[in-house]
Chain A
Amino acid sequence: KQEVTQIPAALSVPEGENLVLNCSFTDSAIYNLQWFRQDPGKGLTSLLLIQSSQREQTSGRLNASLDKSSGRSTLYIAASQPGDSATYLCAVNKDDKIIFGKGTRLHILP
Chain B
Amino acid sequence: DAGVIQSPRHEVTEMGQEVTLRCKPISGHNSLFWYRQTMMRGLELLIYFNNNVPIDDSGMPEDRFSAKMPNASFSTLKIQPSEPRDSAVYFCASSLPPSDTQYFGPGTRLTVL
Contacts and interface: CB of A to CB of B under 8 A. Distances in A.
Interface stretch (A14-22, A63-71, A75-83, A98-106): A98-106
Interface string A25-53: 00000011010100000111110010100
Given A43-B91, A43-B107, A100 B102 contact: no
Contacts, number: 46
B56 A96 contact: yes
A97 B33 CA distance: 11
A99 B93 CA distance: 14
A32 B100 contact: yes
Nearest to B109: A41
Main secondary structure of the interface of A (DSSP, over half): strand
Nearest to A103: B42
Interface of B: 4, 33, 42-45, 48, 55-56, 58, 91, 93, 100-107
Interface of A: 31-32, 34, 36, 42-46, 49, 51, 89, 91, 93, 96-103
